[in-house]
Amino acid sequence: MKIVVLGGAGDMGSRAVRDLAAQTDVSKLTIADIQEVRAHKLAEELNSPKVSVARVDATDPESLKQAISGHDVAASAIGPFYKFEAPVARAAIEAGVNYVSICDDYDAAAKVLEMDEMARERGLRVLTGLGWTPGMTNVAARKGADQMDETQEINVAWAGSSADSQGYAVVLHTIHIFTGLVPSFRDGKRIEVEAGTAGEVVSFPAPIENVNVCHLGHPEPVTIPRFIKGLKVVTLKGGLTEPLLNKLAIAIARMRLTNTRRKKDAVGRIIKTALPVLEKLGKPGIPISGLRVDVRGLYKGKPRHLVYKAANHMNNLTGVPLAVGALMLGRGQIQRKGVFAPEAEGAVDPALFFAELAERGVFVSEQEL
C-alpha cells in the first residue's frame, strides 16, 4: 500500500513514519512536510528505498492535493487542527484518497463530520481523531460500551506534560482548548461549559498518579454521543501535570488574551519561547502522558463500571495510533464509509486496535470497579 504522512517530520508524525516504514506491506511511504530539511533528515535516517519526501503547504489546497494524490491512505499530523483539519480532509476527499488524522480540536472535528456525504459519494473512508485523545480514548469508550446492555455515561480524562512535547502546534492546541466555552454532553444533549471549570483530581497510571483536571475543549463530547447511542453524559477533562502551567493557561484565557486566532498565534509564540523557563518554575513535570476512560451503564440489570487507563510518551500515544489507523484503512480492516470517529460502528475494532498497540509497547488496561 502507498501511504503519505502529512506533517511527517513533526513530533507526532515522525513516530507514525518510523512505524510505517517498518511494515512490509507498505510499498511507498511519503513524508510530506513544509519543513523539508527535517523531512529529508528523517528519510536519510530510515534509509529505505520506499521512503520519499514531498513538500506540502497546508495553507495551499493544490499543494495538499498534489502531495496526497496517488496514495492509498493519507495520514495527517498537521496541527493545530482548528486551522488545518478541515482543509486537509477536504483535499484528501477531492484527491480520492482515504484519510485518517490525529485531530484533537472539537470545532475541527465538527466541521469534518459535515463532509460525510461528500466522502460517501466517493466511496471514501475519512477517520478523524485517531491519536491519543481523541483516538485511544474513543476506542476504549466503544470497547466499554460493547460490554454494556445500556451505556449511560462516559467520562474521559487525560493528563499531559509540557516536557513530553515541544511542538508549536501542541502549544497552540493547548491555548485553544483552555479558551472560552467548550462542548460537553449532559442529560442527553450537547451543552457548552466554560473551559477550566469543574476541576477535580483524577488518578492515572504510574508514574503520573493524581492530576487536577477540568473541562477542556476536545472532540469526545462531540463525537461519542453521535456514534454511541443512548448516552446521558459524556465529559472530557484534562490537565497539565505541571500545576503552574495549568493555572497560567486558565488565567491567560480568562483575561481574553486568546479569544481570536491572531491572539492565539501571538501568545503561542511567547509561550513557546518562554516554555524552557516556565518549566523550571514550580513542580517539574514528568515527560509522560496518560488517559483514563470511565464507562458506566447496566449489564444484566445491574450497574457496571469499566475503567481504561494508559500511560506512555505522548509521541507513542499519538503517533502509534495514527500509524495503526493508516494500516487498518490500507488493509481494508475498516469497512465504514463516509466521515466518522474511531468509536463509530464499523470503524475501529477495539480488540484488533489495542492488540496492534500492544505489539508496539503501548498498553491499555481494563478494570471493573
The pLDDT tens digits for 307-355 are 999 999 999 999 999 999 999 999 999 999 999 999 999 999 999 999 9
Note whether 345 and 285 are within 8 A (CB): no
pLDDT at 284 over 60: no
Amino acid at 171: V
Please report the beta strands in the chain, taking only residues with DSSP state E, as ranges in sequence order: 2-6, 28-33, 51-55, 73-76, 98-101, 125-127, 150-160, 181-186, 189-194, 200-203, 210-215, 233-240, 289-299, 302-312, 338-340, 365-368
Show the CA angle centred on residue 113, arms to residues 108 and 117, nearest 5°. 145
Q: Are the C-beta atoms of 196 and 254 separated by less than 8 Å?
A: yes
Question: Does the pLDDT value for residue 368 go beyond 70?
Answer: yes
Among residues 116, 102, 124, 113, the alpha carbon closest in space to that of 325 is found at 102
Q: For helices 243-254 and 261-278, what crossing angle results, to 10°?
A: 150
How far is residue 340's CA from residue 128's CA, in Å, rounded to a whole number?
A: 6
What pLDDT score was predicted for residue 211?
92
At residue 164 the predicted structure's pLDDT band, cuts being 50, 70 and 90, is low
Confidence class of residue 270 from pLDDT cuts 50, 70 and 90?
Answer: low
pLDDT score of 279 = 55
State yes or no: pLDDT of 242 exceeds 90: no
Domains of the chain by range and CATH?
A: 2-132+314-368 (3.40.50.720), 136-312 (3.30.360.10)
Cα R_g (the chain), whole angstroms: 19
What percentage of the chain has pLDDT greater than the value 70?
91
Average pLDDT over residues 21-46: 97
Give the range among 24-28, 120-124, 157-161, 263-267 with minimum mean pLDDT: 263-267
Higher per-residue confidence, 328 vs 275: 328
pTM: 0.92
